Amino acid sequence: MFHWLEKNPFFFTVVLFVVIAFAGLVEILPNFAESSRPIVGKKPYTMLELAGRNVYIKDNCMSCHSQLIRPFKSETDRYGSYSLSGEYAYDRPFLWSSKRTGPDLHRVGNYRSTDWHENHMKDPQAIVAGSIMPKYPWHFTNSADIATAFDEAVTVMKVFGVPYNKEGNPTVPATFSEAKAEMIAEAKEIAKDMKDPGVKAALENGDIKEIVALIAYLNSLK
């Protein structure tokens, strides 16, 4: 039976592949059937929030922060109601993380404000004594990559049918220059609650710093 296979590497490989692939199919596919349909009222990310999400990914915030509140009382007491599958419908990629060195952020938008984030990203230890989070001064000087965020929004809208431009949902205009104007307007709303003069001055010149986009994203996590 099996022993014969070691002398016939072709069949060995075929059998082995079937064994390996089979379990994966059985385990993965049925769960796909429950595909992540968005829960009612869930809106896609705005382009500025997507830009912020890419800052989150770039600096690998998910290596220390989860976005998955498990259905235990100790977690819902601490972070808010537990996470539902449909809440992640617009998350490409998902950012659940596998490690919680810092607190969960799935509903951080409910209990932290723009100015809290601004001060905290500059110097976490000044806000939370004993924090081991790094300081992020470059978020105040690097520009957010809004062009890529625009591309990304267009892509998910065209390829995956994410409902942008529908009633009440965020918009994605046809050209980048229109998109940029929208993002700057949104960024200015956020910057109203911020103090950093460099960030504000840059915004007047049409340059959105990473911190503004990141805060837009963090505020959207509710």
Partner 1 sequence: MQQSTAVSYDYTVARWFTYTTIAFGIIGMLVGVIIALQLAFPALNGIAGEYSSFGRLRPLHTNGIIYGFTLSGIWASWYYISQRVLKVSLNEYPFLKLISKLHFAVYFVIMLLAVVTLWMGISTSKEYIQLEWPIDILVVVAWVLWGISIFGAIGVRREKTIYISLWYFIATFLAIAMLYIFNNLAVPTAFVSEGVGAWYHSVSLYAGTNDALVQWWFGHNAVAFIFTSGIIALIYYFLPKESGQPVFSYKLSLYSFWSLMFVYLWAGGHHLIYSTVPDWMQTFGSVFSVVLILPSWGTAINMLLTMKGQWQQIAENPIIKLMILASTFYMFSTLEGPIQAIKSVNALAHFTDWIVGHVHDGVLGWVAFMIMAALYHMAPRLFKREIYSKKLVDIQFWIQTVGIVLYFTSMWIAGITQGLMWRATDQFGNLAYSFIDTVNALHPYYAIRGLGGLLYLIGFFIFSYNMYKTMTVGKELTEEPANKTPMSA
Partner 2 sequence: METIREIQGYAYFGMTVVFVIALYGYIVYLYKGKKRGMDYEKYSNLALHDDLNDQILEARNDEEKDSSK
> Interface mask (CB under 8 A) for partner 2, residues 12-41, using x and -?
--------------x---x--xx-------
Q: What angle do CA 196, 60, 77 make, to 5 degrees?
A: 85
Q: Which is nearer to partner 2, 28 or 129 (CB)?
A: 28
What DSSP character marks residue 83?
Answer: P
Stretch that binds partner 1, among 80-88, 111-119, 188-196, 200-208 (CB under 8 A): 80-88
Touching partner 1, residues 121-160 (CB under 8 A): 125, 128-138, 142, 145-152, 154-156, 158-160
Q: Which is nearer to partner 1, 86 or 193 (CB)?
A: 86
Residues 213, 48: contact at Cβ < 8 Å? yes
Q: What angle do CA 195, 200, 205 make, to 5 degrees?
A: 175
Is position 188 an interface residue for partner 1 (rule: CB under 8 A)?
A: no
CB of 206 to partner 2, least distance (A): 48
CA-based nearest residue to 42, from 220, 217, 186? 220
Stretch that binds partner 2, among 3-11, 71-79, 97-105, 140-148 (CB under 8 A): 3-11
Residues 150, 176: contact at Cβ < 8 Å? yes
CB of 192 to partner 1, least distance (A): 27
CB of 85 to partner 2, least distance (A): 11
Query: Burial letters for 41-60: b for 16+ Cβ neighbours within 10 Å, e otherwise?
Result: eeebbbbbbbbbbbbbeebe
Touching partner 2, residues 136-175 (CB under 8 A): none
Query: Rounded to whole angstroms, how far apart are CA atoms 217 and 220?
Result: 5
The residues of the shown chain that bind partner 2, judged by CB under 8 A, are 1-3, 6-7, 26, 30, 33-34
